[in-house]
């Protein structure tokens, strides 16, 4: 069964958790991903990090397809749009707690021989109707 990516849901949940703990949520972005619109002058090694805390950005939208916001970079107002698949991590600046995402997890489904899949296959649970 095909499922949508869990990445946007996890990003939203971690963002809320970080903000509720009065910390600063940062996102790490792969700028080589098609569709990334970021200030080019701030890219280092094909990556860029954004502080997406409520006090740092305006009009933040954590959607299923993209993370978008307006921010100021070097005094200039800029619109930023990052496809969800380009978000490599979301974490709290102050303590590093958060989550790193694998590039290969996007819509690929579970690996063929995981322990969880093996346990499910051996399960003795039955569907009762």
Give residue-wise pLDDT tens across range 31-52: 999 999 999 999 999 999 999 9
| Token pair recorded at residue 21 | 């703990």
pLDDT of 105? 55
Domain extents for the chain?
Answer: 7-100
In what order do the strands lie in the sheet containing 47-51? 47-51, 25-30, 87-92, 98-100
Q: C-alpha angle 115/121/122, rounded to 5°? A: 90
The CATH-assigned architecture of domain 7-100 is: Roll (2.30)
Q: Is 19 helix (H, G, I), strand (E, B) or coil?
A: helix
* pLDDT at residue 102, as a whole number: 86
Predicted model pTM: 0.79
């Amino acid at each position: 069964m095909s499922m949508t990516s869990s990445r946007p849901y996890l990003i939203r949940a971690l963002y809320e958790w970080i903000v509720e703990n009065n910390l600063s949520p940062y996102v790490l972005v792969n700028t080589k991903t098609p569709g990334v619109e970021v200030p080019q002058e701030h890219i280092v090694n094909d990556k860029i990090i954004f502080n997406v805390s409520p006090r740092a950005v305006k009009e933040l939208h954590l959607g299923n397809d993209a993370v978008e916001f307006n921010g100021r970079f070097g005094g200039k107002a800029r619109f930023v749009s990052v496809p969800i698949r380009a978000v490599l991590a979301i974490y709290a600046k102050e303590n590093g707690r958060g989550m790193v995402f694998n590039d290969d997890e996007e819509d690929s489904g579970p690996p063929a021989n995981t322990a969880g899949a093996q346990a499910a296959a051996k399960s003795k649970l039955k569907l009762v109707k």
